[in-house]
Amino acid sequence: MRLPDQVTGLFLVGLGAAAAYGGWLLPPVPGQPVGPNIFPLVIGSGLALCGLAIALGIGRTFEEEEEIIPLEAGQAGPPTGKLYGLRALLPPALLLFYVAVADRLGFIITAALIVFVTSSALGARWKLSLPLAVMAPIVIHLIFSKLLRVPLPAGLLPMPW
Amino acid sequence: MLNTLIQAFALISTWEVIIAMLAASVYGLVIGSLPGLSATMATALLVPVTFYLSPIAAIATIVAASTMAIFSGDIPGALLRIPGTPASAAYADEAYAMTRKGEAELALGAGVWFSAVGGIAGTLSLMILAPPLAEIALSFSTFEYFWLAFLGLMCATLVARSSPVKAIASMFIGLLVACVGIENPGGVPRFTFGMTNLFGGIEPIPALVGVFAVAQVMRAMLTPEPPPIPKRKFGSIMAGQWRLTKKYRWQMTRGNIIGIIIGVLPGAGADMAAWVSYAMSKRFSKEPEKFGTGHVEGLVEAGASNNASIASGWVPSLLFGIPGDTIAAIAIGVLYMKGLNPGPTLFTEKASSMYAIYLMFIIANIIMIPLGIVMIRLASYVLRAPRSSVMPFIMLCCAVGSFAIGNNMFGVVTVAAFGIIGYVMEANGYPVAAMVLGIVMGTMIEQSFVTSLIKSDGSVLPFFERPISAILAAMAIGALIWPVLIWGWRRLKAASPAAAPR
A92 vs B contacts (CB less than 8 Å): 214, 218, 416-417, 419-420
Closest partner residue to A33 (CB to CB) among B162, B388, B457 is B457
CB B334 within 8 A of CB B320: no
Residue B479 pLDDT more than 80? no
Q: Given this model, what pLDDT does residue A112 score?
A: 92
Write down the mean pLDDT value for chain B.
Answer: 84
* A45-61 pLDDT, tens digit each: 999 999 998 888 876 66
Q: Given this model, what pLDDT does residue B454 score?
A: 85
Instruction: Judge: B396–A3 Cβ closer than 8 Å, yes or no.
Output: no
Average pLDDT over residues B469-481: 84
A128 vs B contacts (CB less than 8 Å): 386, 388-389
What is the full DSSP assignment across A79-139? P--TTGGGGGGHHHHHHHHHHHHHHHH-HHHHHHHHHHHHHHHTT--HHHHHHHHHHHHHH
Average pLDDT over residues B357-367: 92
Residue A19 pLDDT more than 60? yes
B327 in A contact zone (CB under 8 Å): no
Instruction: Judge: B391–A118 Cβ closer than 8 Å, yes or no.
Output: yes
Who wins on pLDDT, A135 or A80?
A135
Q: Number of A:B CB contacts under 8 A?
A: 233
Q: Given this model, what pLDDT does residue A72 score?
A: 45
Rounded CA-CA distance B390/B217 in Å is 10
Q: Given this model, what pLDDT does residue B275 score?
A: 83
A53 vs B contacts (CB less than 8 Å): 165
* B49-105 pLDDT, tens digit each: 888 888 899 999 999 999 898 888 888 888 877 777 777 878 888 888 888 888 888
Residue A64 pLDDT more than 80? no
A34 vs B contacts (CB less than 8 Å): 185, 450, 453-454, 458
Q: Which of B211, B395, B443, B445 to mutate to test the interface with A (most CBs of A within 10 A)?
A: B395
Average pLDDT over residues B330-351: 85
Residues 66-85 of A with CB under 8 A from B: 69, 72, 75-78, 84-85
Residue B182 pLDDT more than 50? yes
CA atoms within 13 A on the CB side of B360: 37
Q: Which residue in chain B is spatially nearest to A99 when comparing CA positions?
A: B409
* B335-344 pLDDT, tens digit each: 888 888 888 8
CB B179 within 8 A of CB A19: yes
Q: Given this model, what pLDDT does residue A128 score?
A: 87
Residues 427-456 of B with CB under 8 A from A: 427-430, 446, 449-450, 453-454
Q: Given this model, what pLDDT does residue A62 score?
A: 64
B78 in A contact zone (CB under 8 Å): no
Average pLDDT over residues A14-26: 89
B219 in A contact zone (CB under 8 Å): yes
The amino acid sitting at B163 is S
Q: Given this model, what pLDDT does residue B420 score?
A: 94
Nearest-10 crossing angle of helices B296-312, B249-264: 30
Q: Which residue in chain B is spatially nearest to A62 when comparing CA positions?
A: B163
Q: How confident is the model at residue A75 (pLDDT cuts 50, 70, 90)?
A: very low
Rounded CA-CA distance B258/B495 in Å is 36
Average pLDDT over residues B339-353: 84
B483 vs A contacts (CB less than 8 Å): 59, 62
A159 in B contact zone (CB under 8 Å): no
What is the full DSSP assignment across B88-125? GGGGHHHHHHHHHTT-HHHHHHHHHHHHHHHHHHHHHH
Q: Given this model, what pLDDT does residue B161 score?
A: 65
Rounded CA-CA distance A147/B282 in Å is 49
Give, for B256, the enclosing helix (H) or strand (E).
helix B249-264
Share of chain B above pLDDT 70, in %: 96
* B414-437 pLDDT, tens digit each: 999 999 999 999 888 888 888 888
User: Smallest CA–CA separation between B241 and chain A, in Å?
Assistant: 31
B420 in A contact zone (CB under 8 Å): yes
Residue B243 pLDDT more than 90? no
Instruction: Judge: A85–B389 Cβ closer than 8 Å, yes or no.
Output: no
Radius of gyration of chain A from its Cα atoms, rounded to whole angstroms? 24
Residue B265 pLDDT more than 90? no
Exposed, middle or buried, A64 (CB in 10 Å: 0-12/13-18/19+)? exposed
Q: Given this model, what pLDDT does residue A58 score?
A: 73
